[in-house]
Amino acid sequence: MIKTIDDFAVEGLRVLVRTDLNVPLDGDRVADDGRIRASLPTLTGLMTRGARVIVCAHLGRPGGKPDPRYSMAPVAARLGELLGRPVELTADTTGPAACAAVAAVRPGGLVMLENLRFNAAETSKDDEQRGAFADQLAELADLYVSDGFGAVHRKHASVYDVALRRPHAAGYLVQAEVDALSRLTANIRRPYLVALGGAKVADKFDAFDSLIAAADRILVGGAMAFPFLVARGVKVGTSLLEASQVAAAAELLRRAVPGQIELPSDVVVAPEPGGSGTVVAADAIPVDQMALDIGPQTAARFASALFTAQTVFWNGPMGMFEREPYAGGTRAVAQALTHGEAFTVIGGGDTGAAIRALGFAEGAFGYVSTGGGASLEFIQGKTLPGLAALEA
């Protein structure tokens, strides 16, 4: 059984909170603060109860060494704006600056450590290296709180090893994620539809096996669709495609029930991202152009299917939603989910960012998850190291 922060008296304790604040940046400004907002209930709850809060997180992939491009400074600034108080960012993660800042935090106060991934041991596959870094992090705290659901599928020092070294609890976000995603693993209300898209195709292929067994229909858009189209003999021009995934797609099409996997029948194409784009049949993509969104016919078909669902899991936009000419498919799917009766889970940072960018309120959906890869692994029934550590 996983304990939560409500099971602990935290007043005066140094509480190390592992959050997921890996947000997109626009220069030195946070472009989408969804994950920061999701961390607020746990952070404010601990501060209100008199804890001395130490926030730790990662940003990007700095390669295991300090890199100013990946400093947590913009995140600390935005968190401070949301809290209505300045947030001090330490100059290091576990060095003299961090130790001094933590020692100075008063009950009800908060400090943020610099990017965890500035230390190569954070993501090391060597247990001893990771453990040594976890020892340093654990020295800063009396209690460890896991609230970064987007990272719980990683066996990283701050996610897994610190929890083994200190009393530990789940934050409100992790608790909410587990409750919502559990509804996709048992006693599922049917029809159960899954919508898959986005550009991160490899992770979703790993999940497809279990999704075929669980879902009634799987609607495939975005770059996820291209290996399946090619497997059916369709040429996709210069669209984003990894040839090695075509064989996997062909096998999934063979194993699926006829009609279970639905692919685009039309797409929006352009020579490169930009301009207005042109709608063509999915089997008529020009050799020198790329598909950047599902077409209006496909969007209407997908929306109609989603209206019939009782449970929906959506992971990955239907196209390059960041540019208006290619946002139509993602908007149509989101719109359908806001008007249907299904319990809907929006899975993944990119999908959450998409609905916010397109003006949809998160409250219009059943649950908006903060973890893309983590949510996919959870609904497959895989062991997530960060959650396993909390159960230890």
Q: Which CA distances in Å does 308 have to 190, 193, 207?
A: 9, 9, 23
Say which residue the tokens 């304790």 belong to. Answer: 13
373 given a catalytic annotation: yes
80 given a catalytic annotation: no
Catalytic residue among 316, 349, 352, 372: 349
Catalytic residue among 52, 154, 200, 301: 200
Q: Which CA distances in Å does 171 have to 17, 75, 339?
A: 8, 19, 31
3 given a catalytic annotation: no
Catalytic residue among 35, 52, 155, 217: 35
SS3 string, the chain, reads: CCCEHHHCCCCCCEEEEEECCCCCEECCEECCCHHHHHHHHHHHHHHHCCCEEEEECCCCCCCCCCCHHHCCHHHHHHHHHHHCCCCEECCCCCCHHHHHHHHHCCCCCEEECCCHHHCHHHHCCCHHHHHHHHHHHHHCCCEEEEECHHHCCCCCHHHHHHHHCCCEEECHHHHHHHHHHHCCCCCCCCCEEEEECCCCHHHHHHHHHHHHHHCCEEEECHHHHHHHHHHCCCCCCCCCCCCCHHHHHHHHHHHCCCCCEECCCEEEEECCCCCCCEEEECCCCCCCCEEEEECHHHHHHHHHHHHCCCEEEEECCCCCCCCHHHCHHHHHHHHHHHHCCCEEEECCHHHHHHHHHCCCCHHHCCEECCCHHHHHHHHCCCCCHHHHHHHC
Write out the two tokens for 97.
Answer: 């600056």
Catalytic residue among 237, 295, 316, 373: 373
Active site positions, annotated: 35, 200, 349, 373
